[in-house]
């Protein structure tokens, strides 16, 4: 047996946008085990729910993560609305859905850029992020913020979009879609990309389910599971089909995310076509009492929001199970047997969001 | 299974060599901000009635209001530009302006002082809530919303009282009243 050694990986590493630490157990160049540890960016945002008015907390919830901020605000608001039996106006549901799908596009484009960067494909990285910039500009125009949107509130949304803005969004996604074609072709067909991704980090369907993988990670292992199918928000009226791949490797994960980008374009077009007129929020009276679980599909996978209220304006507990938390055990499994040089790419294929995980 | 190709991105790379850069030379080139941009909070201090509702609605507790001194203070580095204060302001004297504030090496606050205007002061002091007994149902929502705690409502004894010393004439009670029983009146 080859001599075992432990190589520390992270928390500071060129490929990691956020700090996570792994102790890699190596036999020569082969990884035989990985021990993850987190705790570098804990901010105590869950605890803050006891000190802030429940109507103020969406602003805090949004700041849990810079990439899925819209989804976090939405998940929290949905949970409180369920506790208080608030029926959100149809238009607000549609607006929320459009913004959440836009943030999926921006998250996936960001991930594609990071993946290209991890492979050393700098021009592809720049191209992906240039396209992402158009979505950020649309966020800036429609919500007033590029990253933190502050549009969700308990009872609906704060800002409406007029038809000119909706047309701007349609124009922007058409523009992105046309420019995305060479990017998709490169990711799926280029020899350089394929040689780095094909066959790397295979996670079988059984392992993915047993270890609790979620999101594109699970769907790339062939399991058609997408929380949007539950029909929350405006998804009940839209045609959502889970996008799956059966290759189970890093290439499959990349393929799933690329196809989800195209799906998001279609969903936004469909939602803009069907958006009803009407009010965008309802007034909220009284304080919540009770508890509720909400599941929503974030760009990285299923996120679970738990809210417990005690009848005062301060909540008892807010708990968030993020997709990255549940994707870490499959990642550790996936790392076993790979080469040390592949580790950065494999860690990146789960699309780790450490700020979400630690809150 | 997608087929393998070589140099798939070469055309795009060569095209990019002859294209304008995607970035702008900020700060030397000005950036056009969209209409809705939440850049920073501005105040029309002459309209402010120092009710303190903005400070109460601020999630990051960046705003301080001193009623006696007539000052409104914001810590620009604590402010998260969420716009909650703008929505909370009963007089609509706060608004989100485009553009970011200057960077700095220390956390500093901006303080705005109300201009001392005798005529206005007197006028504002005169406006107090008056209740229409025929419409009021003593729900006490006005008392709950009053930022100064100047209202006292007792449903059992059908009492509705305003403390004229405490009242700042913000008219939040009149806006809150579900029966529109309260209006603002001079004297």
The predicted pLDDT at position A306 comes to 92
pTM: 0.84
Q: Name the residue in chain B with its Cα closest to that of A190.
A: B5
Q: What is the DSSP string of A56-77?
A: THHHHHHTT-SSSHHHHHHHHH
Rounded mean pLDDT of A26-33? 88
Tokens of A314: 């301060």
pLDDT value, residue B124: 52
Query: Is A33's Cβ below 8 Å from some Cβ in B?
Result: no
pLDDT at A151 over 70: yes
Instruction: Give domain A41-358's CATH superfamily.
Output: Cytochrome-c3 Hydrogenase, chain B (1.10.645.10)
Scanning B66-95 for CB atoms below 8 A from A yields 80-84, 87
List, in sequence order, every residue forming a beta bridge with B73; answer none if it has no partner.
B64, B111
Cα–Cα distance, A292 to A304 (Å, whole number): 10
CA A9 to CA A34: how far, in whole Å? 10
Q: Is the pLDDT of residue B97 over 60?
A: yes
Query: Nearest CA to CA, how far is B77 from chain A (Å)?
Result: 16
C-alpha to C-alpha distances, B50 to A219, A287, B97, nearest whole angstrom: 55, 27, 20
B2 CB neighbours in chain A (<8 A) are 188-189
Within 8 A of B6 by CB-CB distance, chain A residues are 190-191
Mean pLDDT for A136-160 is: 88
pLDDT band at B120 (very low <50, low <70, confident <90, very high): low
Per-residue tokens: A63? 């700041």
Looking only at the bridges linking them, the beta strands covering A152-153 and A156-157 are antiparallel
> How many beta-carbon contacts under 8 Å exist across A and B?
75
- Please tell me the predicted confidence (pLDDT) of residue A95: 92
For residue A246, what is the DSSP state? S
- Would you say residue B103 has pLDDT above 60? yes
- Residue A78 · residue A96 · CB < 8 Å: no
As a whole number, mean pLDDT of residues B38-63 equals: 85
A231–chain B Cβ distance below 8 A for any pair? no
pLDDT score of B123 more than 60: no
Predicted confidence at residue A104, as pLDDT, reads 92
User: Which residue, among A326, A308, A327, A305, has the nearest Cα to A316 in the 3D structure?
Assistant: A308
Distance between CA atoms of A239 and A229, rounded to whole angstroms?
9
Q: Which tokens hold the place of A281?
A: 């929020």
Separation of alpha carbons B150 and B163, rounded Å: 5
- Residues A154-180 have a mean pLDDT of 89
Instruction: Verify whether the Cβ–Cβ distance A190 to B87 is below 8 Å.
Output: no
User: Quick one: closest CA in B to A54, which residue?
Assistant: B59
Over 60: is that where the pLDDT of B125 sits? no
Tell me how far the alpha carbon of residue A53 is from its chain's centroid: 26
| Proportion of chain A above pLDDT 70, given as a percent | 100
Dihedral over alpha carbons A118, A119, A123, A129 (to 10 degrees): -40
Q: Please give the pLDDT value at position A268.
A: 92
Asked if pLDDT for residue A282 goes beyond 90, the answer is: no
**Considering only CB atoms, which chain A residues are within 8 Å of B83?**
144, 150, 158
Query: Which residue in A59, A127, A189 is closest to B80 by CB distance?
Result: A59
What does the DSSP assignment read for A270-286?
A: HHHHHPPPS-SB----S
C-beta atoms of A56 and B81 within 8 A: no
Out of A119-128, A237-246, A327-336, B139-148, least confident range: B139-148
Q: Mean pLDDT across chain B, nearest whole number?
A: 82
Say if B57 is an interface residue toward chain A (CB within 8 Å).
yes
- The tally of CA atoms less than 13 A away on the side-chain side of residue A239 is 6
Mutate to test the interface with A, among B15, B19, B36, B86 (most CBs of A within 10 A): B36
**Residue of B9, B37, B38 with shortest CB distance to A190:** B9
**B75-80 average pLDDT score:** 88
Residue B1: pLDDT band (50, 70, 90) is: low
Region A240-251: mean pLDDT is 88
Please state, in angstroms and rounded to a whole number, the distance separating the CA atoms of residues A358 and A353. Answer: 9
The reported pLDDT for the residue numbered A305 is: 92
Residue A224 contacts residue A242 (beta carbons within 8 Å): yes
What domains, with CATH codes, occur in chain B? 40-121 (3.30.70.3270), 125-186 (3.30.70.20)
Contact list, A187 vs chain B (CB under 8 Å)? none
The pLDDT score that the predictor gives to residue B15 is 84
Angle between helices A250-274 and A163-189 (to 10 degrees): 160
Say if the Cβ atoms of A123 and B16 lie within 8 Å: yes
CB contact under 8 A, B2 and A123: no
Is A190's CB within 8 Å of B5's CB? yes
Instruction: Collect all residues of chain A within an 8 Å Cβ-Cβ radius of residue B33.
Output: 140
Choosing among A58, A144, A161, which should be mutated to test the B contact, i.e. which has the most B CBs within 10 A?
A: A144
Q: Mean pLDDT, chain A, as a whole number?
A: 88
Q: E-strand spans in A217-349?
A: 289-298, 301-310, 315-321
Residue A318 CA to residue A83 CA, distance in Å, equals: 13
Q: Comparing B69 with A331, which gets the higher pLDDT?
A: A331
Contact at CB, B59 and A127, closer than 8 angstroms: no
Contact between A57 and B59 using a beta-carbon 8 Å cutoff: yes
Write out pLDDT tens, residues A216-225: 989 999 889 8
Q: How confident is the model at residue A210 (pLDDT cuts 50, 70, 90)?
A: very high
pLDDT band at A1 (very low <50, low <70, confident <90, very high): low
A156-157/A289-298 β-pairing: unpaired
Are A150 and B87 within 8 A, CB to CB? no
Measure CB to CB from residue A150 to each of B11, B13, B83 and give the nearest one. Answer: B83
* A144 touches B at CB < 8 Å: yes
The pLDDT score that the predictor gives to residue A266 is 92
Range of weakest confidence among A224-228, A347-351, B141-145: B141-145
Q: A150 falls in which pLDDT band (50, 70, 90)?
A: confident
DSSP A12: S
Q: Which two tokens stand for residue A217?
A: 């990670």
Q: Per-residue b/e over A139-174, b at no fewer than 16 CB within 10 Å?
A: bbbbbbbbbbbbbbbbbbbbbbbeeebbebbeebbe
Residue B70, min C-alpha distance to chain A (Å) = 26
3-class secondary structure, A25: strand
Query: Any chain A CB within 8 A of the CB of B28?
Result: no
Model pLDDT for residues A88-121, shown as the tens digit of each residue = 998 999 999 999 999 999 999 999 999 998 888 8
pLDDT at residue number B2: 62
């Amino acid at each position: 047996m080859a001599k075992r050694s432990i190589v520390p990986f992270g928390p500071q590493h060129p490929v990691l946008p956020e700090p996570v630490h792994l102790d890699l157990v190596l036999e020569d160049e082969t990884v035989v085990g990985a021990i993850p540890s987190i705790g570098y960016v804990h901010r105590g945002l869950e605890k803050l729910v006891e000190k802030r008015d429940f109507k103020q907390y969406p602003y805090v919830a949004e700041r849990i993560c810079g990439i899925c901020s819209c989804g976090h605000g939405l998940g929290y608001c949905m949970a409180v609305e369920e506790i208080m039996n608030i029926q959100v106006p149809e238009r607000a549901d549609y607006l929320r859905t459009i913004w959440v799908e836009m943030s999926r596009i921006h998250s996936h484009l960001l991930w594609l850029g990071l993946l290209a960067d991890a492979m050393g494909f700098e021009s592809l990285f720049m191209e992906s992020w240039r396209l992402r910039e158009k979505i950020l500009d649309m966020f800036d125009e429609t919500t007033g913020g590029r990253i933190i949107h502050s549009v969700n509130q308990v009872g609906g949304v704060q800002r409406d979009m007029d038809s000119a803005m909706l047309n701007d969004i349609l124009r922007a996604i058409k523009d992105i879609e046309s420019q995305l074609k060479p990017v998709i072709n490169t990711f799926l067909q280029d020899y350089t990309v394929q040689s780095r991704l094909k066959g790397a980090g295979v996670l079988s369907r059984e392992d993915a389910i047993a270890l609790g993988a979620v999101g594109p990670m699970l769907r790339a292992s062939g399991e058609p599971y997408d929380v949007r199918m539950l029909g929350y928000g405006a998804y009940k009226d839209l045609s959502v089909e889970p996008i799956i791949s059966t290759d189970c490797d890093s290439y499959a994960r990349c393929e799933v995310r690329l196809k989800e980008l195209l799906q998001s374009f279609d969903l936004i077009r469909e939602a803009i076509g069907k958006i009803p007129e009407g009010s965008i929020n309802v007034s909220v009276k009284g304080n919540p009492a009770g508890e509720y679980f909400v599941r929503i599909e974030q760009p990285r996978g299923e996120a679970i929001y738990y809210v417990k209220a005690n009848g005062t304006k301060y909540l008892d507990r807010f708990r968030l199970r993020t997709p990255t938390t549940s994707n870490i055990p499959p990642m550790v499994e996936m790392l076993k047997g790979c080469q040390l040089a592949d580790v950065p790419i494999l860690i990146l294929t789960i699309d780790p969001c450490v700020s979400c995980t630690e809150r | 299974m997608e087929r393998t190709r070589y140099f798939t991105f070469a055309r795009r790379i060569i095209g990019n060599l002859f294209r304008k850069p995607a970035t702008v030379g900020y700060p030397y080139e000005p950036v056009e901000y969209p209409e809705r941009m939440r850049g920073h909070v501005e105040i029309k201090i002459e309209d402010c009635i120092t009710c303190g509702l903005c400070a109460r609605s601020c999630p990051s507790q960046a705003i301080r209001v001193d009623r006696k001194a007539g000052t409104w203070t914001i810590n620009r580095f604590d402010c998260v530009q969420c716009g909650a204060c703008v929505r909370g302001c009963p007089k609509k004297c706060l608004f989100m302006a485009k553009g970011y504030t200057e960077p700095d090496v220390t956390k500093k606050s901006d303080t705005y002082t109300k201009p001392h205007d005798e005529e206005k002061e007197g006028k504002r002091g005169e406006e107090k809530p008056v209740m229409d007994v025929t419409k009021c149902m003593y729900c006490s929502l006005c008392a709950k919303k009053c930022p100064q705690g100047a209202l006292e409502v007792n449903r059992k004894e059908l009492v509705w009282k305003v403390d004229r010393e405490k009242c700042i004439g913000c008219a939040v009670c009149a806006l809150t009243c579900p029966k529109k029983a309260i209006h603002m009146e001079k004297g």
